[in-house]
């Protein structure tokens, strides 16, 4: 049963914009927020959301009751009126399209029509959520974008201060700076101001078996009296590379290798050598109190809700684009033609996977190629490689195996590349839920 088909324990509510394949939506729902509305533009992603419990809303603007299907509005968020949800939403979540700021895109930034941050601010004005969770790429931290990032944070802090369409953002930014300074000196309406926390994250530091650098911006309505410092404590990293190195160099029953006894000795030896090098360059073999990074091999073997449910091996005679349903798994399909070439090194099993990317056509070149434990020749030193399957990629994104993805392979990979890893989103969604539960201000 998919995660969106199980009701949260308490009736907190959420709205998800730019929902995509549902990674952040799933995390927010797991944290106890019942979806009142989804919005997504891409048709295939909408099909994925419907396959997992969402239902087209139609033209009727109504609040769904607990247990009802979650309303989905497909189409341009700029045409969406959410004012009927005013005062009914605990958390507004979404990852505005990142192409304007991505290192892999053309990086036009605020001039790019695909910049959807203004739509998040419009939603804040229309529904006045208690909290906002917003994920985006680290490209926003580049020096060329830093002034605009600071403007985004100020707009999120003061979303009710409308910008005249004819006013350059730089001028509006200065107006916001002046207004914030004035508000700091004299009290204003705290229900129209938000406290904003931006966190730079590597998903691997939060239990995701993937190196994925992002920023997560969280805002709380000021009148709620949320303990911001406690929230920051609650979203600190929980896993580390150093802890993985220690686990690899440990020969006890609790070591990394005890979970993977099938690994050939040469592969194990090479991984240990890399761990020794990493320890030598970094910290000593002293515990930092964190858990070991999860690896690609961990993901395939099964972690969290997939614990004890390993994906079957893709044999070399089945790189045939056919669904064989080994072990009953869907989307675990071998694909031919994988190549290793300069600038696109493959994924290694005993490291977190590389960043899952959407790619130009949904299949991102060498980033989705993996090295295996199989030698090219019995006495050789070169290991065979192949493409990651969609199911392996979904596990790297910490999607549960029963989460359905719609469309051809390329579209499924695109949806995963654009998604928020569920486990990363869950850390922040749970911290937001805790912050709202313990807030000292009004409950409405």
CA distance 117 to 134: 9
Q: Cβ(63)–Cβ(14) under 8 Å?
A: no
Q: How many CB atoms lie within 10 A of CB 331?
A: 18
Q: Active-site residue among 89, 98, 300, 435?
A: 98
Residue-wise DSSP of 232-250: HHHTS--EEHHHHHHHHH-
**Does the annotation mark 98 as catalytic?**
yes
The per-type count for the chain, helices as H runs and strands as E runs, is: 12, 12
Q: Cβ(385)–Cβ(338) under 8 Å?
A: yes
CA distance 264 to 243: 22
Length of the chain: 444
Residue-wise DSSP of 353-386: BPPP---TTS--GGGGEEEEEEESSTT-SPEEEE
Alpha-helical runs (H) found in 186-263: 228-234, 241-249
What is the Cα gyration radius of the chain?
Answer: 23
Instruction: Give the helix/strand (H/E) hosting 215.
Output: strand 213-221
Q: Cβ(218)–Cβ(320) under 8 Å?
A: no
What is the three-class DSSP state of 279?
helix
Name which of 347, 443, 439, 343 is nearest 395 in CA terms: 347
Q: Cβ(196)–Cβ(340) under 8 Å?
A: no
97 DSSP 8-state letter = -
418's tokens: 């654009």
CA distance 396 to 76: 29
Q: How many CB atoms lie within 10 A of CB 344?
A: 14
Q: How many CB atoms lie within 10 A of CB 228?
A: 14
Which active-site residues does the annotation give? 98
């Amino acid at each position: 049963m998919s995660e969106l088909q199980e009701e949260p324990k308490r009736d907190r509510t959420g709205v998800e914009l730019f929902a995509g394949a549902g990674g952040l939506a799933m995390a927010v729902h797991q944290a106890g927020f019942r979806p009142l509305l989804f919005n997504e533009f891409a048709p295939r992603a909408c099909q994925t959301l419907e396959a997992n419990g969402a239902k087209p809303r139609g033209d009727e603007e109504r609040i769904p009751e607990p247990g009802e299907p979650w309303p989905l509005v497909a189409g341009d968020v700029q045409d969406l009126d959410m004012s009927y949800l005013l005062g009914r939403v605990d958390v507004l979540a979404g990852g505005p399209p990142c192409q304007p700021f991505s290192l892999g895109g053309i990086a036009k930034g605020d001039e790019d029509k695909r910049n959807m941050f203004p739509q998040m601010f419009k939603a804040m004005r229309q529904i006045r959520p208690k909290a906002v969770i917003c994920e985006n790429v680290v490209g926003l931290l580049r020096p060329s974008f830093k002034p605009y990032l600071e403007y985004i944070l100020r707009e999120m802090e003061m979303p009710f201060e409308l910008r005249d369409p004819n006013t350059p953002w730089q001028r509006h930014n200065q107006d916001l700076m002046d207004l914030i300074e004035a508000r700091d000196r004299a009290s204003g309406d705290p229900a129209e101001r938000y406290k904003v926390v931006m966190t730079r994250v590597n998903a691997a530091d939060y239990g995701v078996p993937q190196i994925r650098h992002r920023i997560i911006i969280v805002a709380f309505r000021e009148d709620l009296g949320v303990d911001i410092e406690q929230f920051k404590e609650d979203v600190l990293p929980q896993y580390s590379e150093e802890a993985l190195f220690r686990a690899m160099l440990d020969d006890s029953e609790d070591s990394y290798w005890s979970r993977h006894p099938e690994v050939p000795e040469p592969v194990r030896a090479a991984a240990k050598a890399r761990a020794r090098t990493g320890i030598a360059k970094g910290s000593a073999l002293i515990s930092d109190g964190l858990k070991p990074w999860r690896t690609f091999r961990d993901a395939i073997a099964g972690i969290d809700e997939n614990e004890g449910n390993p994906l079957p091996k893709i044999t070399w005679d089945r790189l045939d684009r056919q669904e064989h349903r080994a072990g009953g798994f869907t989307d675990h399909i071998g694909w031919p033609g994988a190549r290793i070439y300069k600038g696109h090194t493959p994924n290694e099993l005993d490291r977190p996977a590389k960043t899952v990317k959407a790619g130009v056509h949904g299949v991102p070149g060498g980033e989705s190629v993996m090295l295996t434990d199989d030698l090219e020749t019995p006495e050789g030193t070169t290991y065979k490689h192949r493409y990651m399957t969609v199911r392996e990629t979904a596990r790297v994104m910490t999607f549960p195996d029963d989460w359905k993805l719609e469309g051809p392979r390329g579209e499924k990979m695109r949806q995963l590349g654009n998604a928020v890893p569920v486990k990363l989103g869950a850390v922040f969604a749970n911290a937001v839920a805790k912050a709202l539960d313990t807030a000292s201000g009004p409950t409405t």
